[in-house]
Amino acid sequence: MKTTDGGLRDQEWRYTWYDTNSPDGNKGFSSGYHTCKTSKRCDTEKFTQDVNTQGLCGSKDWRLPDIEQLNSLVYCSNGKYNPLASDQTGYICSDYGKEPTINSGYFPNTPFPSGFCWSSSSYANDSYGAWSVNFSRGYDYVDFKDGIGQVRLVRIGQWFGVLSETPTPGTTVSGNPTAATFLIQSTADAGQSYSNRFNVTQKIAMSGKISVAPSHIGRNGVTYIVANYNGSWYMKSPQGWAVWDVNTDSLKASGAAHALSRVEVVDIEKSLSGLAGNFAVYLGYKVDSDIQYNAPAYTFTVPCISPQVVQNGVCVNPPLSGKYTKIDSNGNALPDSAPSWDCAKDNATGLMWEVKTNDGGLRDQKWSYTWYDSNSPDGNKGVSSRTSYCKTNGRCDTEKFTQDVNAQGLCGSKDWRMPTIEELRTVVYCSAGKYSGNDCLNTTKRPTIDSGYFPNTLSVVFWSSSSNADGSGFARGVYFYDGNDYWIFKDGSSLVRLVRIGQ
């Protein structure tokens, strides 16, 4: 809890993001500012160390929360939530309500305007960024690690018993149980219970409890967490979730070996953003070679929220009938019912667009690029690849990506190019049908593109070929979170969707 006494945890202090053991290798920015109680202790790691030295609330295992955990504190006083982008995990409070967007009855002294509050989660597309939550409006976003933000630490707390109703194990949840809290009783052992809180359109964040057999209490052991989604297995390790091949992969512990307590508490979180289907989570522990599994903690179904529909296990906006035609790898038109395609032709403009993949290949949805054009009309070529955020290191600028796609002959053609800003705007789709200039109004379905024809689209900025008229160091791009276009430094890292004149 924050204070107003000018001490270590005062509400006004700010910190840079720093983690000596950051999994992505980018440690962040060790404190160089005097924005906290003690000069040169103003980064997240040192603040955490200082709080643990004090033994806040009798404990010394405080840590920075991950983005899912931090988002669980967002509270919209009017009860109105708008889901954020598919690559984000939190909510934005619609119509604002009271600010800050946190329950001030339990979290007083939260400053407003609050700026942002750091999480421990680095940004997957750019290791210089980390996720944060803005408690002015209740949404999460990425900030550079050398920025200064607030910190609210977290730890696994003591279990204080049943918090709410007990549904039947294995029950399928329908409708929209947003922010509901459940206590789950395992069928394997009536003494095992699970506190389960999840937002159906975004994530599942469970604090699971495992009852340890009396003969195992005090012995050295590890805990395991595995999940099954639509027949595929996933395993949790300290580095995060990974696909688990049950036939070849050995189990990985979810945490370090330790003396087992009577009740073991484990953190479980998994992004459900945009997914639809059935989940089952299993908990277990191991002493020596004795592995004990519990029954599924909970099995539930994540529905799509109207008007979205399920497509290959993902919630997408329904197709705009007649607007686009699906195109196969050879350039042939496909019926609307085709389950896979490589390009989409706009039947109104005649433009054919690249469709992103999710296979780690050349056109994967997560790859990003610097802007570069060796023949740029304004004389500023941009920045030739200096990143390794694409399929092939050293090929991560827009010009080289275009060359590589043309070398492959995507959809039977080798005349792919970067779209102009005017062309890129034509694929913006506001699900609510309300536009203000280039912005989508009241849009709750993101990304702002027709996902029925453009799957695997992240709600981020995509480059255009258009340099900014006010400064040759910038180029225009469209932000598929709100549908608007922005200027970006050419040495920035953004995504690309190529285009050509269709047949």
Domains and CATH numbers, the chain: 1-155 (no CATH), 180-302 (2.60.40), 306-503 (no CATH)
Contact 466, 485 (CB under 8 A): no
Contact 339, 312 (CB under 8 A): yes
Contact 208, 285 (CB under 8 A): no
- pTM over the 0.85 mark: no
Question: What is the per-residue pLDDT for 361?
Answer: 94
Question: What is the per-residue pLDDT for 76?
Answer: 72
Question: What is the per-residue pLDDT for 68?
Answer: 72
Report how far apart, in Å, the C-alpha atoms of 129 and of each of 83, 454, 473 are: 22, 27, 22
DSSP states along 338-402 = -S--SEEEETTT-EEEE--BSSSSTTBTT--BB-B-TT-TTS--B-------SSSTT--BHHHHH
Q: Most distant CA pair in the chain: distance in Å?
A: 76
Q: Classify the phi-psi angles of 46: left when phi > 0, otherwise alpha if psi is within -120 to 50, otherwise beta.
A: alpha
Question: What is the per-residue pLDDT for 487?
Answer: 82
Q: Percent helix, strand and coil across the chain, each rounded to 5? A: 10, 35, 60
As a whole number of angstroms, the distance between CA 200 and CA 205 comes to 11
Question: What is the per-residue pLDDT for 139?
Answer: 76
Report how far apart, in Å, the C-alpha atoms of 487 and of each of 143, 477, 494 are: 17, 6, 11
- Report the half-sphere exposure of 43 (CA within 13 A, side-chain side): 16
Contact 214, 224 (CB under 8 A): no
pLDDT 10s per residue in the chain (503 long)?
A: 888 888 999 988 989 999 998 888 889 988 767 788 888 899 999 999 999 999 998 888 899 988 877 877 877 766 555 555 434 444 566 555 567 888 777 788 887 655 689 999 888 777 888 888 888 777 777 888 888 889 999 886 533 222 222 223 333 332 222 222 222 222 222 222 233 323 333 345 455 666 677 777 788 888 877 776 666 777 777 777 777 776 677 777 887 888 877 767 666 665 544 455 556 667 777 777 655 544 344 444 555 555 555 655 555 555 555 789 999 999 999 998 899 999 999 988 889 999 999 998 999 998 999 999 998 888 889 988 766 688 998 899 999 999 999 999 999 999 999 999 989 988 988 876 655 555 676 555 778 888 889 999 988 899 999 987 666 788 999 988 888 888 888 888 889 999 998 76
**CA-wise closest residue to 292 among 223, 369, 386:** 223
Contact 352, 497 (CB under 8 A): no
Q: If DSSP codes are grouped into helix, strand and coil, which group holds residue 229?
A: strand
As a whole number of angstroms, the distance between CA 473 and CA 95 comes to 37
